[in-house]
Amino acid sequence: MRKLFLTAALLVSVLVGCSKNDEGQSLYKENDLTDLNLKVNLKPNVESPVYYGTKATGSDHSDGTYDDAVTRLDVFIFDVTTGELESYKGFEASELTSLKGLSMRTKTGNKRVYVIANANKDAWLGIITEKRFLAVQQILSQENYQHFIMSGYTNCNITASCTVEVTIQKLVGRVVLNSIRTAFTGTPYAGKELQNVKAYLTNVNSNILAANGNLPTPVTVLNIGKYVPMDNMDFLTPGAMYDEIGSVKDEGHNTPHYFYCYPNTIDEESDTKKFTRLVIEGTLNGKTYYYPININRENYGWTSSIDHKGIMRNKSYTYNVTILRPGSTDPDELVDLTAFAIDVTIEEWDNIPASDIEF
């Protein structure tokens, strides 16, 4: 099952009156100061409503009208040679309603243009060089599912009349537990329920470089090896890494649960670096069991047709899970895959095809 989602694309058209001399030659020279009129074409609509405090479940989280909303836009122009900031302008939501007539001043010449959406404007205080700009981090707890932080950049030669196109993408990746059911009929557990079911992400990278989506050094990891209540506090999106489901029967639980994290594409695990996992926890016959899923890894949805392993920004990984028998007694210990079944879709929200997993 594949779905198509559009990457948020930001087209900035720089329209400048072209002055020429009598021979038809441009009067603009390298480093001339130029008035730029910006026309911004952004899909989808920036006037989407904004809500806080909604848990990460239900249909809103699959609606691009919400999670691609833009409430603020920051544009930075750096000189490619010197690395100095030559122009900056922040556009508030009130200025973005028409996306026309946006203007800023800069110099002509070879520049690097960065566009950041929905970030806190205080993050840019004191930024006067590209080096300092590239060091600015965003943290996962400040992501809001209806206007995620997005970024992108391009290199261009700004002249008296040119068009600059920048594609911006979300910094987060998304993990969807689309459905969960038991399949206990005909087994010693027939008629039983999986009770007190919870789902959460573990080994979650929680900070990222805003400008390019790379991970900083060091990176802060949340829910290391298990659910850690303190790690899940003060999120703008409650339930971003953890949610409670209740009881699950053979009939199934079909309400989608959406979780968010920053990229994790490490090649292999070590004592200090772990794959990000989706963990399902539940009680069977009075004992707590865990069903950890290595997100988009071998045996857990990844196939050779997918161009990456692990989690990347702006991609969505969807799981349908069937529980067949008891799982692990440790949330960080993988279980025999005969204990459950997984159907996986990895889509780019931009989405990645769904996967069915059986435990």
Q: Per-residue pLDDT averaged across 206-224, rounded?
A: 96
CA neighbor of 151 nearest in space, from 124, 128, 126: 124
Selection from 35-39, 52-56, 97-101, 257-261 with the highest mean pLDDT: 257-261
Q: Per-residue pLDDT averaged across 214-227, rounded?
A: 96
pTM, 2 dp = 0.83
User: What pLDDT shows up at residue 321?
Assistant: 95
Q: Per-residue pLDDT averaged across 254-266, rounded?
A: 96
* Mean pLDDT over each residue of the chain, to the nearest integer: 80
Q: What is the pLDDT of residues 274-289, one digit of tens each?
A: 999 999 999 999 999 9
In the chain, the domains with their CATH numbers are 9-170 (2.60.40), 173-358 (2.60.40.3690)
CA neighbor of 174 nearest in space, from 298, 1, 358, 347: 347
pLDDT > 70? residue 49: no
Position with higher pLDDT, 149 vs 307: 149
Confidence bin at 61 (pLDDT 50/70/90): low
CA-CA distance, 105 to 129, in Å (whole number)? 17
Q: What is the pLDDT of residues 149-208, one digit of tens each?
A: 999 898 988 887 667 778 888 999 999 999 999 999 999 999 999 999 999 999 999 999
| Contact yes or no for 278/293 (Cβ under 8 A) | yes
Q: How wide is the angle at C-alpha 274 spanned by C-alphas 334 and 170, nearest 5°? A: 115
User: What pLDDT shows up at residue 31?
Assistant: 52
- Residue type, position 351, single letter: N
Phi and psi torsions of 278, nearest 5°: -100, 120
User: What pLDDT shows up at residue 100?
Assistant: 55
pLDDT > 70? residue 56: no
CA neighbor of 76 nearest in space, from 109, 108, 111, 32: 111
Pairing of strands 173-182, 315-323: parallel
Q: Per-residue pLDDT averaged across 68-76, rounded?
A: 85
